Amino acid sequence: MKKNALYPNVAIGQIRKLDSIKGIASARLVAIAETDSSDATCLVFLLGNATDAATPRDIIIPKEITKLTYDLALMSDYLSRADQGRLVNNPVLSEVSKELIESVRSAVIESPFGALSIDQEKLAVSVGSYPAQKYDAVWNFRDSEAQNFALLTFTRNKTSIDFAFKLYQANYENLEAFCEPDVPIDAIRFRAFSKEKIEVAA
């Protein structure tokens, strides 16, 4: 599907705050791993600054790379989808290379369990070493972070009305986007209905 530029400033490697959901989930820092302008969403990795508790599934990004005042732990097991609209109003706090993001994603696929294997020297990062034990303080902390992150993000269902409506909203001015073979019929209906209302009003 042809992309549009609804949020042209949202890019892979950016570190931004993902907005909270009032009364449901707290805001967290994330690293953008993939963008999709068809429905204005993106995949994000959860970040944290508790690097002392980083496990072998986490990548420690030193402050020398991010230019922040603290190191960050990229929690590779926590990758999910979020609306770009809940990121775009927050400033880019830092950026990491696209190569690092791609290396982490590849490492997760190659090693779904156990320590991640990446070129630490080339990427100037390190792998966490905390031996988390089930139900210890770090385990409980990560479980809490996972639950919060799950509430901040979602799993995309391309057959849902929600996806169709987001696609319609993101491509309202881009007629060509509705001519693609994988566009949900409901998205086409949304646009046809809105166009009809405009013509009637005129």
For the chain, which residues score pLDDT lower than 50? 1-4, 197-202
Residues 54 and 87 in one domain: yes
Domain that holds residue 171: 161-201
- Yes or no: say if 66 and 74 are a contact pair by the CB < 8 Å rule: no
Both structure tokens of 120: 């630490």
Residue 200: predicted pLDDT: 40
What's the burial of 164, exposed, middle or buried (CB within 10 Å: 0-12/13-18/19+)? buried
Residues 58 and 128 in one domain: yes
In a domain, 1, yes or no: no
Residues 42 and 107 in one domain: yes
Residues 172 and 97 in one domain: no
In a domain, 92, yes or no: yes
Residue 185: predicted pLDDT: 75
Q: pTM for this one?
A: 0.79
Q: How far apart, in Å, do the first and last CA atoms of the chain sit?
A: 31
Residue 202: predicted pLDDT: 42
Number of domain units in the chain: 2
Residue 155: predicted pLDDT: 85
Residue 121: predicted pLDDT: 95
Domain with residue 119: its CATH number is 2.30.30.110
Residues 106 and 169 in one domain: no
Residues 173 and 100 in one domain: no
Which stretches of the chain are assigned E, i.e. beta strand?
A: 14-18, 28-36, 41-48, 58-61, 72-83, 94-95, 126-127
- Yes or no: say if 11 and 31 are a contact pair by the CB < 8 Å rule: no
